[in-house]
Amino acid sequence: MRKRTREFFSHLQEKICRAVEEVDGEAHFREDHWQREGGGGGRTRVMEEGAVFEKAGVNFSAVEGILPEEFAKKIELGDGLEFFATGISLVLHPRNPYVPTVHANIRYLEKGNARWFGGGTDLTPYYPFREDVVHFHRTLKEACDNHDPAYYPRFKKWCDEYFLIRHRGEARGVGGIFFDYLHGDPEQLFDFVRDVGEALLLAYLPIVEKRRNQPYGQNEREFQLIRRGRYAEFNLIYDRGTAFGLETRGRTESILMSLPPLARWVYDYKPQENTPEADAWTYFKAQDWLELES
């Protein structure tokens, strides 16, 4: 399973990077190979200042070694301190405020005698369009339903609870799916994780193509940067992947590549009533998007 998951995530990184470069049409990924002190390494790819994507990062890693004892106690499964982890993570930050940011992380882990899968993907629009949100969720639901009809409602709820900026009482975006500590039949779970990985581009790129040329001005750009500030707050305070990478002495540049290139923090910001920004704010809470589809 180590070999198969490592190969799948490596190939998925290749596929996603090719597709993102094709959509952008201007910029290309810079690639860094790195080795982790203690075992393993990875391949970080970052694209900046593209025609569509202001910053796009796609990481692949396969690392192993010994966990810090205090951090090992926080991991729910497995005994001992030895670990192995492989996976892919991506964050795509668009230039146009009408194109949403997307995040995904899919991983396979072992600790002692336990092994499990985790991950998910979520959408963070700045000016949401309901049809886009529905498309994103519908695509993920189809990937989940191919394996277990209980997966989507369970993982959608988990995502809503996880991607909550708790100190503000705001959702980071419009959710998606999130799962962790999935253990059981490794073959069935690996099939599920592969389908989620293959669904990422199907869920996101049609939205990019639809919104990439929509005109915008400085007001929309300023709002985008304020919402990016919220994104950065979540990643630095709550994100498990960030914490895991730093605690296991991962490569700092690769761990923090998910942060947006620019962001703003405006004191006590509140959108003015009856504006597109106020309407956008109504999306940033847990909602059943597919029930509202009609």
HSE at residue 63, side-chain half, CA atoms within 13 A, is 26
Q: How many residues does the chain have?
A: 294
**Active site (catalytic) residues:** 103
d(CA 262, CA 186): 40
d(CA 112, CA 145): 31
3-state secondary structure 105-158: EEEEEEECCEEEEEEEEEEECCCCCHHHHHHHHHHHHHHHHCCCCCHHHHHHHH
The arrangement of strands across the sheet holding 176-182 comes to: 30-35, 40-48, 53-66, 82-94, 101-111, 114-124, 176-182
